[in-house]
Chains A and B, each alone.
Chain A
Amino acid sequence: MVVKNEEVWEIEGRSFVSRLMIGSALYPSPAIMAKSIRASGSQIVTVALRRQSASSLEGGNQFWDIIQELGVTVLPNTAGCHTAKEAITTAMMAREIFDVDWVKLEVIGNQYNLQPDPFALVEATKVLIDEGFRVLPYMTDDLVLAQRLADIGCTTLMPWGSPIGSGRGLMNPYNLKVIRKQFPDLNLIVDAGIGKPSDAIEAMELGFDGILLNSAVALAQEPIKMAKAFKHAIYAGRLGFEAGAMQKRDMASPSTPTVGTPFWHQFN
């Protein structure tokens, strides 16, 4: 089956067809990573920066070569940063290396569940927007935090579904629904916690504009097949949202016409 989605989605001044942003970490091998990214149909791939020795880079950077060959748009993250200063410095380094003005801003506030620090996140976002960045903040599903980030200029918000790498799906659909309702004009991405295609469908049916995931594909028994599953799930969820679901009813209502029912059951 070929999924055709002619609708173009715009985020941060860029146009894409796929609403899936996919991570490049944790795959069983670089080859499986490349095949999974292709199979997912994703056009946006998240990448990171880490300390590396000169000797490890002697023959070039194999990972970076593979990503470049995929012809995707990269979205650098600031994973592993625990202070606003670290995140700001990492974002600036990423802008120079990757030559892009957007960043997935992560400032971790708790090591147990890798929960973002909302205070440092707002602080770093403010500085980076002033520096000309387009900031995509990885955040908790807090309505007031969403408001603060929107107030300082974010046009995309990325609330978590559940903690990074937990695969627990949407912990609090109500919070996500309220954020969607309160910010109809912002791009909203569920980032982190997606485990199954049905989690992605649920988020898309809530009206989210896209999904960012990594572990759900990379740690699946068959990553390439799971990448395809998410491609279809996100498309299906989006169509379902756009189509508008019927109202739930308490009582059954026959879908087959009752007029002309033969002699078995006559209700008068």
Chain B
Amino acid sequence: MIPALALVAGVALGLVFEPVVPLWLQPYLPIAVVAALDAMFGGIRARLDGIFDAKVFVVSFVSNVLVAALIVFLGDKLGVGAQLSTGVVVVLGIRIFGNAAAIRRHLFRA
């Protein structure tokens, strides 16, 4: 499947090139990655539910990443950066868990 191959290719590229993360990006990259992971899990679940739509996936992916980064950025500016970042990570984790549970139900019927 294309996305699986793309994921593997992306990871391989990341390992091969070993780019250095720019300083201004470093606080946001982990949050962005987790948000993107959440979008990906949602996409997988939608796929298994049979309701996948590429456009919605793309938009949600991008918006997830942007909104997460925006929240973290805002939190830093407001002085509650650590708390907001924690909150974002918690919420994304909850959603990932929910989607993973749905995927599990699809795959294992359990």
The answer to whether A and B belong to the same complex is no
A interface with B by C-beta (< 8 Å): none
